[in-house]
Amino acid sequence: MKLLITGGSGLIGRHFIKTFGDQYQFTVLSRSPEKCTKTFSSDIKIIEALPKENSFDVIINLAGEPIADKRWTQKQKQLICQSRWHITQQLVDMVEQSSIKPQCFINGSAVGFYGDTGDQTVTEESEVTHPDFAHSLCLKWENIALSLKEQTRVVLLRTAVVLAKDGGALSKMYLPFYLGLGGKIGSGEQWMPWIHIEDMINAIQFSISNNEVQGAINCVSPSLMTNVEFTKALGSQLKRPTVFTVPAFIIKALMGQGAELLLTSQKVSPKKLLSYGFHFDQPQIKSALADILA
């Protein structure tokens, strides 16, 4: 089976290709082919531009400017949006003008789609009551991908914080927590959806192999927890105290509007994945952190 993947050198893409490299014939679209060549084996084909005609069985679109690496200035927000919307539209155009359609089009998204949910549990069917930048970003991103739903099966990955040792949020938190400087963010009462990297890539694999999966799926652990609960779990795993608090005003001063990524409460349930019969290998935070940080 031939797979095209964009954003293949990112955290999720790297792990997916490494884990399932023997099962698929991968082509990676990258703006930095030299970097990808060093990352992947010679069996992985690297391309710098999309072909005019589709020849892939599955397309996985994970490309996009990192959302939390820089302060959200107007320029940065435009870059975050356009880096996702533009490549998605290019992929849609390629599929629409091709006689051969992919069996499945899997597109990135995020739980930021739901905005601030407070203490209310939301599923894929829930209406958004607190629209913000992240919601607007994800809504248009998803709608571009969904324009292909009459031509192929479209899956939208509404992804939570992905926990892995070699990238993402956990790698940034590790050092301050290891030094005993970790602590809750703001009140710590905000709900914090998360998912182990293995469950994340297995959800993608599940979406490819199960033809019933379509539309949005929440890629989050079924074990819902608050930021303070996560903080205690990480401190316990590292055997370090977590007595500090990072005040909300400091986060806002450092990140601007991007602070909503850390302060927004999102109590998100993976209802559809569970209904399809997906099995989470790492649903509990204690065992998940132990697995990653062992």
Assign 260 a pLDDT band (cuts: 50, 70, 90).
confident
Tell me the C-alpha distance between 104 and 114, whole Å: 24
Expressed as residue numbers, the domain containing 148 is 2-162+194-220+267-281
The phi, psi pair for 53, rounded to 5°, reads -115, 140
Number of structural domains, the chain?
1
Residue labelled with tokens 């601030």 = 116
CA distances from 200 to 158, 161, 194 (A): 11, 10, 10
Q: Which of 27-41, 135-149, 241-255 is least confident?
A: 27-41
Q: Would 188 be classed as within a structural domain? A: no
Residue 183: predicted pLDDT = 94
User: What's 211's DSSP letter?
Assistant: T
Closest CA to 215 of 272, 268, 160: 272
DSSP 109-154: EEGGGG---TT-EE-TTPPPSS--HHHHHHHHHHHHHHTTTTTSEE
What is the pTM for the complete model shown? 0.95
Q: Would 206 be classed as within a structural domain? A: yes
Burial class of residue 110 in the structure, from the number of CB atoms within 10 Å of its CB (0-12 exposed, 13-18 middle, 19+ buried): buried
Residue 68: predicted pLDDT = 84
Contact 156, 164 (CB under 8 A): no
The separation between CA 195 and the C-alpha centre of its own chain, rounded to angstroms, equals 9
H or E segment to which residue 159 belongs:
strand 153-159
Average confidence score pLDDT of the chain: 94
Position with higher pLDDT, 68 vs 1: 1
Assign 31 a pLDDT band (cuts: 50, 70, 90).
confident
Q: Would 231 be classed as within a structural domain? A: no
Q: Would 233 be classed as within a structural domain? A: no
Q: Would 168 be classed as within a structural domain? A: no
Q: Would 25 be classed as within a structural domain? A: yes
Tens of pLDDT, residue by residue over 106-162, are 999 999 999 999 999 999 999 998 889 999 999 999 999 999 999 999 999 999 999
Tell me the C-alpha distance between 35 and 21, whole Å: 18
Residue 256: predicted pLDDT = 80
CATH number at residue 127: 3.40.50.720
Q: Would 10 be classed as within a structural domain? A: yes
The phi, psi pair for 261, rounded to 5°, reads -60, -30
What counts of helices (H) and strands (E) characterise the chain?
11, 13
**Nearest-5° Cα angle at 106, 101 to 111:** 155
Q: Would 136 be classed as within a structural domain? A: yes
